[in-house]
Amino acid sequence: MIELRTPAEVEAMKPAGRFVAEVLATLRDETRVGTNLLEIDRRAHEMIRAAGAESCYIDYHPSFGASPFGKVICTSINDAVLHGLPFDYALRDGDLVTLDFAVAVDGWVADSAVSFVVGTPRDEDLALIDTTERALDAAIAAAVVGNRIGDISAAVAAVAHAEGLSINTDFGGHGVGREMHGDPHVPNNGKPGRGYPLRAGLVLALEPWFLQSTDQLRTDADGWTLRSGDGSRGAHSEHTIAITDDGPVILTDRSFLGVR
pLDDT tens, N- to C-terminus, the chain (260 residues): 999 999 999 999 999 999 999 999 999 999 999 999 999 999 999 999 999 999 999 999 998 898 999 999 999 999 999 999 999 999 999 999 999 999 999 999 999 999 999 999 999 999 999 999 999 999 999 999 999 999 999 999 999 999 999 999 999 999 999 999 999 999 999 999 999 999 999 999 999 999 999 999 999 999 999 999 999 999 999 999 999 999 999 999 998 788 78
Binding residues: 83, 100, 111, 174, 181, 207, 238
Q: What's the sign of the alpha-carbon dihedral 8, 9, 10, 13?
A: positive
DSSP for residue 143:
-
Residue 192 in any domain: the answer is yes
Which burial class, exposed, middle or buried, applies to 50 when counting CB atoms under 10 A from its CB (0-12, 13-18, 19+)? exposed
Residue 77 in any domain: the answer is yes
Please choose, from the candidates 113, 93, 149, the residue with its C-alpha nearest in 3D space to the C-alpha of residue 234: 113
Please state the domain count of the chain: 1
DSSP-derived 3-state class of residue 138? helix
Please give the residue range of the domain that contains residue 74: 7-252
Instruction: Give CA–CA dist 103/140, Å, rounded.
Output: 21
Binding residues for a divalent metal cation: 100, 111, 174, 207, 238
Residue 1 in any domain: the answer is no
Binding residues for substrate: 83, 181
Residue 2 in any domain: the answer is no
CATH number, domain containing residue 202: 3.90.230.10
Residue 257 in any domain: the answer is no
Residue 241 in any domain: the answer is yes
Angle at 157 between CA 153 and CA 158, to 5 degrees: 120
Residue 225 in any domain: the answer is yes
* Residue type at 132 in one-letter notation: T
Instruction: Give CA–CA dist 178/108, Å, rounded.
Output: 5
Residue 44 in any domain: the answer is yes
